[in-house]
């Protein structure tokens, strides 16, 4: 073999290694999105499991607030349905209803001193508040991972392999402007 053939083989080998590296990076990004969703899913499931305990604790003290308790449980079901289907677009509105329901529940708890003093209620309230913070963190990480994936599959030369192997964009977990507004605490107490 002459030098020209070695150079051509070397260039081909480098291109093949580069294509393999690009492909492996795209696979890694795809699985990072799945992992980020799974992290949210775990936290949503934990909150899902804690809410009936909170509602039961509240029922003992808040006999006249059944509508609020029912709204929390309906929101819980909507979040669970979106979570089980991995429906990112349905999760935003369901999470908003959950946030409003929990806000109403915690605001109403202020009118029940015995409930506020109940150790189980305080523990569950703290646990759910902690889960809410963790879910917010995981949402941010999920969107960051999705964004990285979506940018990479559109950049050259990744786009070539992304199209060849059907790497597609993923949906961001987004909320409408209405869903991002702060809860009106005055309405909760009136």
Of 27-36, 46-55, 178-187, the poorest mean pLDDT is in: 178-187
Going by the DSSP 8-state scheme, the letter that residue 111 receives in this structure is: T
Whether residue 150 contacts residue 30, with contact meaning beta carbons closer than 8 Å, is answered with: no
> In whole angstroms, what is the distance from residue 172 CA to residue 170 CA?
7
DSSP state of 155: S
Model pLDDT, residue 87:
85
- Label residue 22 by pLDDT band (50, 70, 90): very high
Q: What is the pLDDT of residue 186?
A: 47
pLDDT tens for 25-37 read 999 999 999 999 9
Residue 82 has pLDDT above 50, yes or no: yes
Question: What backbone torsions phi and psi does residue 74 show, to the nearest 5 degrees?
Answer: -65, -40
Query: In angstroms, rounded to a whole number, what is the distance separating the alpha carbons of residues 54 and 52?
Result: 5
How many Cβ atoms from other residues are within 10 Å of residue 75's Cβ?
21
One of 3.90.550.10, 3.40.50.10470, 3.10.129.10, 1.20.1440.20 is the CATH number of 3-188, namely 1.20.1440.20
Q: Is the pLDDT of residue 178 over 50?
A: yes
* Of 172, 127, 126, the residue nearest 149 (C-alpha): 172
pLDDT at 188: 41
pLDDT in tens, 121-170: 888 888 888 998 898 899 899 999 999 999 999 999 999 999 999 999 99
C-alpha count within 13 angstroms, C-beta hemisphere, residue 33: 22
pLDDT at 111: 81
Looking at the predicted structure, is the pLDDT value of residue 13 above 70?
yes
Q: Are 124 and 50 in contact (CB under 8 A)?
A: yes
Percent of the chain with pLDDT over 70: 90
Q: Where are the domains of the chain?
A: 3-188
């Amino acid at each position: 073999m002459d030098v020209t053939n070695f150079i051509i083989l070397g260039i081909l080998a480098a291109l093949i290694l580069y294509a393999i590296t690009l492909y492996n990076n795209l696979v890694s990004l795809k699985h990072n999105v799945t992992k980020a969703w799974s992290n949210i899913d775990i936290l949503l499931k934990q909150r899902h499991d804690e809410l009936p305990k909170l509602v039961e604790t509240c029922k003992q003290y808040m006999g006249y607030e059944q509508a609020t308790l029912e709204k929390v449980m309906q929101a819980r079901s909507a979040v669970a349905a979106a979570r089980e289907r991995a429906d990112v677009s349905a999760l935003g509105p369901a999470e908003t209803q959950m946030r409003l329901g929990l806000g109403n529940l915690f605001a109403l708890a202020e009118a029940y001193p015995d409930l506020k003093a109940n150790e189980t209620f305080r523990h569950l309230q703290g646990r759910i508040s902690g889960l809410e913070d963790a879910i917010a963190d995981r949402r941010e990480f999920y969107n960051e991972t999705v964004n990285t994936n979506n940018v990479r599959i559109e950049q050259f030369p990744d786009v070539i392999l992304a199209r060849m192997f059907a790497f597609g964009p993923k949906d961001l977990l987004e909320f409408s402007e209405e869903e991002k507004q702060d809860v009106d605490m005055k309405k909760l107490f009136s």
